[in-house]
Structure 1
């Protein structure tokens, strides 16, 4: 019995705009991000009134995700359920810096990072491989609670990247060719161990426009 999950990236933050890595730093939404979250909530409320279902809403416990999820929960009268496992990747010493600053402060680690080695971890941070498995292990019990259901998970660009790779059988080393947009709706069906993308990077509620703040020099989501 399949379960449908709407994965939602948090709204825009000031650090998204300047391509500064947030990781586990608890950055709030920018004013623009708050507006995006409100528009998303209005869309989902309208769809539910028109007959769509939404059984539950989960969120990363970081502020930017909670601020995106809470308007949806309030509009639909659903409790917001927080999961630490849905957090962004822990970038350790890279957090709070943009790519140029990382290259200057940590030249050897920066060079290694650019190789896309999934086993590489920034100082005091998390490797892409460890992050990927952490995300999948966080999603699995959520899906198990809602067989045949339709739920929403509000998280981060890196989390969405892991989900897309899992559903499409992409390696962690493969360059990203798909969008990870602020406040986008990304629908995935899970049936046992199989997953399939239904729609991706849907920002109709934003007039079709949102930002993918990929690092300029490093081809990975990292936010």
Structure 2
């Protein structure tokens, strides 16, 4: 039995545009992100009418994810299942700052961050390893609950990154060379304990490109 999951990154925020770390700070969508959410809803409604229906929608409980998911939930007559396990990585004291600001304020921590050590935690934050395990612990039971189903999971760039690395077997300390686009649809099949990426970084529904989460901790 195959469960198909559409992993969707939230729409653009003002902080995405200026590359300021959001983490668990509850930043709303920018006006551009609201437009993206509307275009995403139209895409998924058209797919549903063509027979590719969604059985359920799961969503990070942060506002930017909810604002992205709600328009297509309303269009499809589905409710949002909020899950705090789908939140972005907790960046602790790094939150609210740009990479350049972090380098100036926390030079030692910044250097370790740039080394891609998956066990490094920002002050009062979460390591990449702990974050990845949290995400997988949230996603695996969601997928298992919908055998032969098709569901959406609306979350964050970091969550999508964890999923991509898990499916492709990419180490947590490896530099990223795949996109994490605002309002993108990223499709993964779960089948008999195996996973495969069907498509990634699909933004064909957008009238303007989604931003990529290109923070400097992973050279792009």
TM-score by length of 2: 0.98
Partner of 1:187, secondary structure, is: strand
Alignment deviations for residues 94-119 of structure 1 (CA, whole Å, 9 cap, x no partner): 00000010001100000000000000
1:66 aligns with 2:59: no
Deviates more, 1:23-32 or 1:47-56: 47-56
Aligned ranges for residues 181-200 of structure 1 at < 5 Å? 181-200=181-200
Partner of 1:171, secondary structure, is: coil
Partner of 2:4, secondary structure, is: strand
Alignment deviations for residues 58-115 of structure 1 (CA, whole Å, 9 cap, x no partner): 1000000000000010000001110000000000000000001000110000000000
Aligned ranges for residues 38-49 of structure 1 at < 5 Å? 38-49=38-49
| Corresponding residue of 2:218 | 219
Q: Distance in 1 between matches of 2:22 and 2:207?
A: 26
Identify unmatched segments of 5+ residues in structure 1: none
Partner of 1:136, secondary structure, is: helix
Aligned ranges for residues 131-210 of structure 1 at < 5 Å? 131-207=131-207, 209-210=209-210
Aligned ranges for residues 80-91 of structure 1 at < 5 Å? 80-91=80-91
Partner of 1:17, secondary structure, is: helix
Q: Distance in 1 between matches of 2:155 and 2:183?
A: 10
Partner of 1:205, secondary structure, is: coil
**TM superposition shift of 1:218:** 2.3
| Count of residue pairs brought into register by the alignment | 220
1:96 aligns with 2:96: yes
**TM superposition shift of 1:208:** 6.5
Q: CA RMSD in A?
A: 1.2
**TM superposition shift of 1:211:** 1.3
Asked if structure 2 preserves the Cα contact closer than 8 Å seen for 1:17 and 1:213, the reply is: no
Asked if structure 1 preserves the Cα contact closer than 8 Å seen for 2:157 and 2:213, the reply is: no
Runs of 4+ in 1 over 6 A off after TM superposition: none
Q: Distance in 2 between matches of 1:57 and 1:166?
A: 21
Describe the shift of the 1:192–1:220 C-alpha distance in structure 2 as closer, same or farther (beyond 3 A).
Answer: farther
**TM superposition shift of 1:220:** 6.8
TM-score by length of 1: 0.96
Identify unmatched segments of 5+ residues in structure 2: none
